[in-house]
Amino acid sequence: METRRPARQLHPAAACELTSRGRRHPEPAHAYRSAFQRDRDRVLHSSAFRRLVYKTQVFINHEGDLYRTRLTHSLEVAQVARTVAASLGIDEVLTEAICLAHDLGHTPFGHAGQDALDHCMKRWGGFEHNLQSLRVVDELEERYAQFPGLNLTYETREGILKHCSKRHARGLGDLGERFLRRRQPGLEAQLANIADEIAWSHHDLDDGLRAGLITVEELAEVRLFRDHDRPARGGRARLSRRVRIHAAVRAMLDHVVTDLIGASRARLERSSPASIEAVRAQARPLIGLSPPVAAAHQQLKVFLRQHLYRHERVLARNRRAQALLQALFECFMNDVRAMPREHADRALAWERDQGENGRARAVADYIAGMTDRYAAAAYRRLVDPGLDW
Ligand code: MG
């Protein structure tokens, strides 16, 4: 019979509404929702969140209905992270809010799209999808009369900004400080970060197998798979390939998540931070895998890089996606009126204020917000009606 473990007490270093560094624009408390619940709900209701359903994780949406998209990726990250948060006694709702928001700034066509846009923006400050996620919640979502963006709490914004170049960190005030001083964010942010890696490595493996780009035989070199494939079959010699893959991936995920909980708990006990500020003052993260499981997980990620992300079929598709985004970027830079009115007006206004930088940033914001199919439709309309995507 399934039995539920009793809920643990909240850890003293968990994020807490009472010690929150607050919102950029102060707001009165809600009658029955906590600040972090409101953050999560604002992310969920944002238009950037809905667009994630048509943004590539690894496989383009039309390549098959069963592959992960940015949306299902974000939900799987939240699922992994919430399990761990509940077990460690850190704030589950804040963790969920960060996970759901972490990829809001992703371009169409996955990492290929991000690299293409970064390349296009080289002369104008570059493009970082992580920074863009923050930009979406801070500036680009238009939902409130009183302020731009979603006005999320500091803790959620801190979690969204996982990486940041020093150059950009200098312009971010409080939020950028930890990248300059090499300090850590709160526990919920640390957890969302590692849950992202655990979720994508396992679901991309599953999708890669489904697509036939990697094989079970090749996976024999991956320790995590080798260790879990046979026991997961439970002594059954004749299992369908599908059940075998699901059983192995599920056992791997369970093993890695269980290790994450155990190793993080041990670190928390050793360093016993008394508050979120004590966590932020540390040089190294407290939430993370044990060294042996981290090494095994790293081996899985390297395998995926070599066999899946650099598979000729994926690379060929990425090259097309990059050429497509580059053509769109040039098209809008040459004629901002080729964008919808509000984006064109913004580009012209920012150009008046900031010169060409402003125009380029408005174009990058517009392109980054596109879904895969919206980008393909724009390309057909403006560049080549014969595009067969
Ligand atoms: Mg992610």
Q: Model confidence over 320-366: pLDDT tens digits? A: 999 999 999 999 999 999 999 999 999 999 999 999 999 999 999 99
| Distance from Cα 99 to the centre of ligand 1, integer Å | 8
| Distance from Cα 28 to the centre of ligand 1, integer Å | 32
Residue 27 has pLDDT above 70, yes or no: yes
| pTM score above 0.85 | yes
| Distance from Cα 209 to the centre of ligand 1, integer Å | 20
Which is nearest to 229 in space by CA: 241, 261, 79?
Answer: 241
Q: What is the pLDDT of residues 291-317, one digit of tens each?
A: 999 999 999 999 999 999 899 988 998
Which two tokens mark 105? Answer: 């700034």
Residue 284 has pLDDT above 70, yes or no: yes
| Distance from Cα 73 to the centre of ligand 1, integer Å | 7
Stretch 175-203: mean pLDDT: 96
- Per-state percent for the chain, helix, strand, coil, to nearest 5: 65, 0, 30
| Distance from Cα 110 to the centre of ligand 1, integer Å | 10
CA gap 297, 275 in Å, rounded: 30
Residue 233's pLDDT band, with cuts at 50, 70 and 90, is: confident
Contacts of 16 (CB under 8 A, 6+ apart): 10, 91, 276
| Distance from Cα 54 to the centre of ligand 1, integer Å | 15
| Distance from Cα 243 to the centre of ligand 1, integer Å | 26
Which two tokens mark 28? Answer: 């009165």
pLDDT of residue 236: 77
Which is nearest to 84 in space by CA: 235, 296, 257, 326?
Answer: 257
Residue 197 has pLDDT above 60, yes or no: yes
Could you tell me if 232 and 250 are in contact, meaning their C-beta atoms sit under 8 angstroms apart?
yes
- In the chain the domains, ranked by start, together with CATH numbers, are 17-313 (1.10.3210.10), 314-382 (no CATH)
pLDDT of residue 388: 83
Stretch 20-25: mean pLDDT: 96
